[in-house]
Amino acid sequence: MPENTPNPESPAPVEPEEIRVGVYTCHCGGNISHVVQCERVAKMVGKLANVAVSRTDPSFCSDAGQAIIEQDIKELGINRVVIGACAPSLHEQTFRGAVTRAGLNPYLYHHVGLREQDSWVHASDEEGATEKAMRLMAAGVAKARLLDPLDPIRLGAEKQALVIGGGVAGLRAALDIARQGIRVTLVEKSPFLGGRMAQLESIFPTDEKPRQLLHDLIQAVTAQVGITIFTQAEVTGVSGYVGNFSIQVTQHARGVSPEMAEALTAACTQETPDPFNYSLTRRKVIYQPYPGCYPAAPAVDWQHYDGQPIQVNGKSIVLQDDALVHELIAGAIVLATGFDPYEPRQGEYGYGELSQVITLPQLIRHMALVKNGETLTWNGHPVRSAAIIHCVGSRELDGVHEPQADGQVNNYCSRVCCTASLHTALEMRQRFPRLNIYELYQDIRAYGRGHEEIYRHTQNAAVRFVRYHGDDGPKVIAAPKGDPYPVLVQVKDYLTYGEEIEIPVDLVVLAVGMMPRQVDDLVNMLKISRGADRFLLEAHPKLRPVEMAVRGIILAGTAQGPMNIQESLAAASAAAAKAASLLSLGKVELPPFVARVDPAKCNGNGACVTACLEEGAIALQTFVENGVEVQRAVVTPANCTGCGACVGACPNRAIDVQAWTLAQYDAMVDAIAMDWPELVEVEK
Amino acid sequence: MAHSDKPKQPKILILATLAGGYAGADATGQVHLDYPANTYILPVMSPVMFPPEFFLRAFERGIDAIIIMYSGTDSPYKVEADGTASLVNRTYTLMKTRGIDIRRLRLAAICTVCVKPFLKEVNQMADLLKGIGFVKDEITAPAAAQAKGA
Ligand SMILES: Cc1cc2nc3c(=O)[nH]c(=O)nc-3n(C[C@H](O)[C@H](O)[C@H](O)COP(=O)(O)OP(=O)(O)OC[C@H]3O[C@@H](n4cnc5c(N)ncnc54)[C@H](O)[C@@H]3O)c2cc1C
Ligand code: SF4
C-alpha cells in the first residue's frame, strides 16, 4: 500500500502560465466566407479575454496558412490555438501537426466546425450564420482556456493480425500483411476459401478464369510463412483494444477424416440444395463445392446434416461436430466478410412465381453446367430469347419500391451488375449465337478500365438495349396460353420516347445487386458502425477510406460496399498496408481521451466504479494519506474508452475525461448563451 | 441588420456524439440542406458524461432547448444507450421541479448519415420554441444554486 504517495494520476504541479490564445477563422476558399462574415467574427473573438491574436486567412490548411499559425506560436507566445474551419474530421490532424511542429503540445488546440455545420447549412441567413460563428468561436476560446497539455497513451501492440473472411479480399489482405513480417490468422466461415469469386466462370474485364486466379492466390497464401487458416470457423468473442484484441474463434469439425472421406462421401445419401449453384442443383451434405477447391478434403454441411448414421463397410457412422475453441491475440482486425447477392422478393418481376425468372448469379452457374456446344435450355426447353433486367434490388426509390424487412429500400447502385450483365450477354452471344438477348437498363454504369469496351462489344453483338425509368420499371407476366413464348416483359422504352413494348422471352434474368453479408454478431461484438446502405462504414470516405472509427479495425473488399474484384483487391492491399503500419513498430498510440481522477476531490465513494461498464477501466485502490488509509478511484487508461459514464456518476466532480471536461462544457455553454448586450459589446 | 436591432433568438444546444450525431450534422452540411442558425452543435464522446445538473445549469444560463443526438444501441460505448435514457429521465424529473417544460430536452438517435432525421429533430425543436418561447420566462426555481459544481 503506498505510504503518503500521491495518486499516480495526479498531475505534476506546474507553474501557472499566462494563457495566450491564438484564434484563426478560415475563409475556406470562400466556402465559409461567402456566408459567414469572417472578419467580423475574428474582430469579435479578438476582444475576448486571453485572446492574443485573431486572424483570418483564405485557407489555413494550406502550407502558408499553417506557417502563420506556427509563426504565431513561436513569436507571439501563443499557447492555446482555436481554429474555425471545415469539419474537424477533415483537418484536425493537419492542425495538430502544425501546432506540434511549432513546439506546442498538440492537445492545446481546439477545432470549431464552421463549414459543414454553419456556412453550408445557413446560406440563406448570413447574419444568423455569422452570429452562430461568433458564439461557436467564443465557445472554442472558452474551452481552449481550460485545455491541459496531454500525452497520447502508448501501448505495446501485438505483431499479429486477424483477417475475417477468406474471399479474394481476405486472402489478399492476409498475404500482404504476412509479407510485412506480421503473423496473420485467417478465419473463414465456410469450409472452403475463395468466397463468391469461385462461383464465377470468366471474369470481366480480362476474361480470366477466376478459380485459376484464386488457386494461385491461395497457393501463395498457404506457402507464406506466418499465416494460420481456420476454415468452418467464426469469431465468437472479442475484447480489448487496438494493439491487443483478445479473440475467441470457434471452429467446427471437418467431420470426416482423410482416410474415411472417400468412402463416407460415396455412402452419404442425404442431399440439400447446393448454395454454390444458388440452389439450381442439389449436393450431398458431405461435399466439395468444386474440383480443385481449397482445402481439398470434403467437409460436412452441419447446418443440413440430419444426424442420421451413414453405413460404410457394414459400420454405422454418425458424424460428430467436435468444435474447437481457439483463443488468440491480434493487434488489428481486418474485416473482409464480403457480400451476398440480393435475393428478390416473392413475385418481384415474377421471381418465385414464374419458373422462367432467375437471377444473374444463377444464370452464370446455369451456363457453367451447360457443356460447350450444347444449346442453352431452361426447364428442358431451348432458350430462344432472354431478357436481362438491370438494377434489381439496387437504385430503389422510396415510395416506389417495396422496402426491405428493415423498412429501407436499397437506394445505392451496386456498380458491378451493369458490367457483369453485359459481360454475361457477350458470353451468351458467343456460345449461343442464335439467342435473342435484351438488356433492360436505367443507365449503363460501365465505369472501370476496359468496361466501356465491353459495353461497346455488347452493342455490336446484336444485343438489344431497352431503357426504362426507375419509377416505371418493367413488368414480367406469364404469356397467355398458346403464345409461342412462356413469358412477356412489358416495358416503356425511353430510347424510343416511352414507347410501350412487349418482349416475349423464355428466360428473364434479374441482375441483382449486392447486399452486405449478415454480420450482426461482429457489429455488436466490435461495436462498429454500418452506413445507411448497411455495408460496414469507414471512418472517413476520403481521408480514412479503409479504417473504421474503432481504432485497429480495418475494412477490405465488398464488406464495405459494392466493388469488383480489382477494387476489392486494391482495398485489401490498402487494408494490409494500414494494418502493417499500425503494428510494425510493436506499439500503438491512442488519443489521451480517457478518464482522469482529481485525488483532491475524490472521496472514494465508488460511484464511478459502479457506473463504468468497461472491464478493468476503473477501480478503487487503497492509499495512505497522512497516516490514514483512504480509497481513491484509479483509472487504467488502456481499458478506458473515455465514454464518461464515471463523470456523470461522480457526485463530487472528481473525475473528468481529459480534453472533454465538464468545466469546459460549462464554459462553452456560457459562451453560447451569452446575451446580446455582451456579444454586441465585444463586437464593437 | 446590425446585431443590436436583431430580435433575440432562442438558442438550441445540440450535444452530438462523434460516432453519431456530430457526423450526421456534417453529412447534412455536405448536402447543403438548410436549417435554422440558432443551433449550436458541440461534439461529445458520449452524453452519459453529463450529470442532470449540467442541463439545468445550461437552461438557467439561457439555453432554450437541448437535443442530445446520441448513437443509441449503435454506440461504440456499452453504457450509452441505457445510460443516456436514464440520465434524460432523471433530468426530466428535475426540470419539472423547476417548472421547465420537459419538451426542451430531447434525446434522438442520429447516425453518421442520418440527414433526414437530423433535420427533422432540429426543425421540430425550432418550431416548438416558436410556440413555447424562452426558457428564462419559464424557470420558477433557481437551478444553478442547487446544482453541484455550478
Ligand atoms: C453476378 C456477379 C458477377 C460478378 N462478376 C465479376 C467479374 O466478372 N469481375 C469482377 O471483377 N467482379 C465480379 N463480381 C464481383 C466479385 O464477385 C466481388 O468483387 C468479389 O467476389 C468480392 O470479394 P470479397 O472477398 O470482398 O467478398 P466474398 O467473395 O463475398 O468473400 C467473403 C468471404 O467472407 C466469408 N465470411 C463472411 N462472413 C464471415 C464471418 N462472419 N466470419 C468468417 N468468414 C466470413 C465468406 O464465407 C466469404 O468466403 C461479380 C459479382 C456478381 C454478383
Ligand atoms: S451497376 Fe448498373 S445494374 Fe447495377 S445498380 Fe448500378 S446501374 Fe443498376
Same domain, A369 and A440: yes
Ligand 1 in reach of A187 Cβ (< 6 A) = yes
**A528 contacts on B by Cβ (under 8 Å):** 76
Same domain, A125 and A246: no
What is chain A's mean pLDDT, rounded? 94
* Helix runs in B49-144, H state only: 52-61, 80-97, 115-132
Q: What is the per-residue pLDDT for A615? A: 78
Calculate helix-pair angle for B52-61, B80-97, nearest 10 degrees: 50
Flag whether A589 is in a domain: no
- Residue A532, domain CATH: 3.50.50.60
Q: Within the 230-259 window of chain A, which residues sit less than 8 Å (CB to CB) from chain B?
A: none
Point out the least confidently predicted range of A107-116, A426-435, B2-11.
B2-11
Q: Do B79 and A660 touch (CB under 8 A)?
A: no
pLDDT digits (tens, 9 = 90+) for A635-677: 998 888 899 999 999 999 999 999 999 999 999 999 999 875 5
Q: What average pLDDT does this structure show over A484-508?
A: 97
- State the nearest Cα–Cα gap between B33 and chain A, in angstroms: 5
Flag whether A1 is in a domain: no
> CB within 8 A of A552, min separation 6: which ones?
A241, A242, A243, A245, A331, A332, A333, A582, A588
- Residue A93, domain CATH: 3.40.50
DSSP 8-state secondary structure symbol assigned to residue B74: G
* Helix runs in A34-125, H state only: 38-46, 63-75, 88-101
Using DSSP, state whether A388 is helix, strand or coil.
Answer: strand
Q: Is the pTM of this model over 0.95?
A: no
pLDDT(A680) > 80: no
pLDDT digits (tens, 9 = 90+) for A320-357: 999 999 999 999 999 999 999 999 999 999 999 999 99
pLDDT(A310) > 50: yes
Q: What is the per-residue pLDDT for A6? A: 42
d(CA A214, CA A193): 9
pLDDT digits (tens, 9 = 90+) for A595-639: 999 999 999 999 999 999 887 889 999 999 889 999 999 999 888
Flag whether A667 is in a domain: no
* Domain range summary for chain B, segments of one domain joined by +: 11-149
Same domain, A38 and A131: yes
- DSSP output for B79-98: THHHHHHHHHHHHHHHHHHT
Q: Do B149 and A653 touch (CB under 8 A)?
A: yes
Same domain, A54 and A165: no
pLDDT(A7) > 50: no
Ligand 1 in reach of A190 Cβ (< 6 A) = yes
**Which of A290, A564, A569 has most ligand 1 atoms within 8 Å of CB, for mutation?**
A564
Same domain, A495 and A535: no
pLDDT digits (tens, 9 = 90+) for B50-93: 999 999 999 999 999 999 999 887 777 778 888 899 999 999 99
Find the domain containing A27 and state its range. Answer: 21-150
| CATH architecture for segment(s) B11-149 | 3-Layer(aba) Sandwich (3.40)
pLDDT digits (tens, 9 = 90+) for A277-299: 999 999 999 999 999 999 999 99
Q: What is the per-residue pLDDT for A540? A: 74
pLDDT(A491) > 90: yes
Q: What is the per-residue pLDDT for A541? A: 75
Sheet with strand A463-467: strands edge to edge: A357-359, A507-512, A385-392, A436-441, A463-467
Same domain, A359 and A334: no
Ligand 2 in reach of A419 Cβ (< 6 A) = no
Flag whether A6 is in a domain: no
Q: Do B149 and A113 touch (CB under 8 A)?
A: no
Q: What is the per-residue pLDDT for A240? A: 84
Flag whether A47 is in a domain: yes
pLDDT(A20) > 90: yes
pLDDT(B135) > 70: yes
Same domain, A470 and A347: yes
Same domain, A241 and A356: no
A440 burial level (CB within 10 Å; 0-12, 13-18, 19+): buried
Flag whether A495 is in a domain: yes
Closest CA to B8 of A442, A679, A600: A679
Share above pLDDT 70 across residues of chain A, in percent, rounded to a whole number: 96
Same domain, A352 and A421: yes
| Nearest-Cα residue of chain A relative to residue B75 | A527
Same domain, A387 and A241: no
**A87 contacts on B by Cβ (under 8 Å):** 26, 29
Ligand 1 in reach of A350 Cβ (< 6 A) = no
Q: What is the per-residue pLDDT for A12? A: 54
pLDDT digits (tens, 9 = 90+) for A368-381: 999 999 999 999 99
Overall number of domains in chain A = 5
Q: Cell 412487349 appears where?
A: A502
